[in-house]
Amino acid sequence: MRDADRRTIIAGLGAGLAVAASTACAAPRGRKIGYAIVGLGRYAELIMSKFAECDQSRLVALVSGTPEKLTRFGEKYGIPASHRYSYADFDRIRDNPDVDVVYVILPNALHAEYTVRAAKAGKHVMCEKPMAVSVAECRTMIAACRAAGRKLMIGYRSRFEPYNQLAIDLAKKGFVGPTRIITADHGFNAQPNQWRLDRKWSGGGSLMDIGIYSLNATRYLTGEDPVEVSAIESTDRSDPRFATVEDRISFLLRFPSGIEATCVSSYSSNHNMYRVTGTQGWIELEPATAYEGQAMRIRRDGRTEAQSVPVPKGQHAGQLDHFAGCILNGTDPLVPGEEGLADMRVIEAIYRSAREGRRITLG
């Protein structure tokens, strides 16, 4: 393929995806969907700051067990005292017509409880990943939202990030030939004294936290669910950080099409990348799923080139507005509760494989 043709194809795909990202589930200008944020930790701070970039979403309420946070963030974002809730009086949110969506940003073990309570209060739900700490909890959450006639979306922000969207499209179209192998490595050096290092709250270690990015990437890059899992865990139990959770876990996934994915999840090494290898080359993102700064390289026809795409809106704002548009238009979100359930089914199989030292077949 001539260089000019290659650049034209990729540029066209990138521009098209940028437009698609900015218009997905778009609704007519007018009413904005009101979000209540439940849990005011560091990630919630980031999310609250992103409403300024949104076209269809606004921050209208806060929920926390810390009065100081309710006051501080309430004043910062202009949230009246009447729209600030404690966990104890959370259920009063049903009486607040300004709240359309409850965004659950709590420790993993609390996701199911607050999703169910929000649905019973008549609110749509955005829930952070991992969706819950078990397949059974995921199913309970889906059932609760369905029974209430409310939408449920999981916070897979990378699906609204233009470089990831381009990688998905290039892989789907076979730009480097049919996909044969995927590698996906995610990890960071976890600092002590965090809820994520306590299984009671997290449900697991690095796999439940950073490893889910490796897993979910293999699923959106293939468009398939794995049929077989093999995993190995490596954890230094003398390290006080890992008294109840795992550090490193490596896992191999086999997909129906024959694609194999080799993945790493780690709490003691720093990496964030994936590579899609086809019969004619590869597509690589590094960093791949960070909050910002994604970079893409493509190897094809014996040449490796960096690629860039337009980024019309940040992935966090894109995620918020996508769900808002779905609510206003009555359409289904790109990443519904079933997506979180699919990941949790594989996560349970990975843990089982590592524990039992054998391959696990998924139905």
pLDDT score for 6: 59
pLDDT score for 30: 73
Average pLDDT over residues 327-353: 98
Predicted confidence band at 251 (pLDDT cuts at 50, 70, 90)? very high
40, 66 contact by CB (below 8 A): yes
Q: Which residue shows structure tokens 């009065």?
A: 67
CATH of 158-312+336-361, one of 3.30.70.270, 3.30.360.10, 3.10.20.90, 3.40.50.9100: 3.30.360.10
224 phi/psi in degrees, rounded to 5: -130, 165
235, 248 contact by CB (below 8 A): yes
Q: Is the pLDDT score of 201 beyond 90?
A: yes
251, 172 contact by CB (below 8 A): no
The residue ranking higher by pLDDT, 309 or 26, is 309
The set of residues, in sequence order, having a beta carbon less than 8 Å from that of 319 and lying 6+ positions away, is: 126, 155, 156, 157, 159, 160
% residues pLDDT > 90 (the chain):
91
CATH of 33-155, one of 3.40.50.720, 3.40.50.300, 2.30.29.30, 3.40.50.1980: 3.40.50.720
Q: How far is CA 245 from CA 182, 196, 358, in A?
A: 26, 9, 20
Q: Which of 203, 205, 207 is nearest to 216 (CA)?
A: 207
Ranges in the chain annotated CATH 3.30.360.10: 158-312+336-361
Tell me the two tokens of residue 130: 């991992």
33, 327 contact by CB (below 8 A): yes
Residues annotated as part of the active site: 129, 213
pTM: 0.94
Sign of CA dihedral 76, 324, 109, 356: negative
pLDDT score for 10: 66
Average pLDDT over residues 280-286: 98
The residue ranking higher by pLDDT, 25 or 179, is 179
Return mean pLDDT, the chain. Answer: 94
Average pLDDT over residues 284-310: 97
Q: Output b/e per residue, 218-254; b: 16+ Cβ within 10 A.
A: bbbbbeebbebbbbebebeeeeebbeebbbbbbbbbb
The residue ranking higher by pLDDT, 31 or 259, is 259
pLDDT score for 22: 45
Q: Is the pLDDT score of 4 beyond 90?
A: no
Count of residues making up the chain: 363
Neighbours of 359 (CB within 10 A): 13
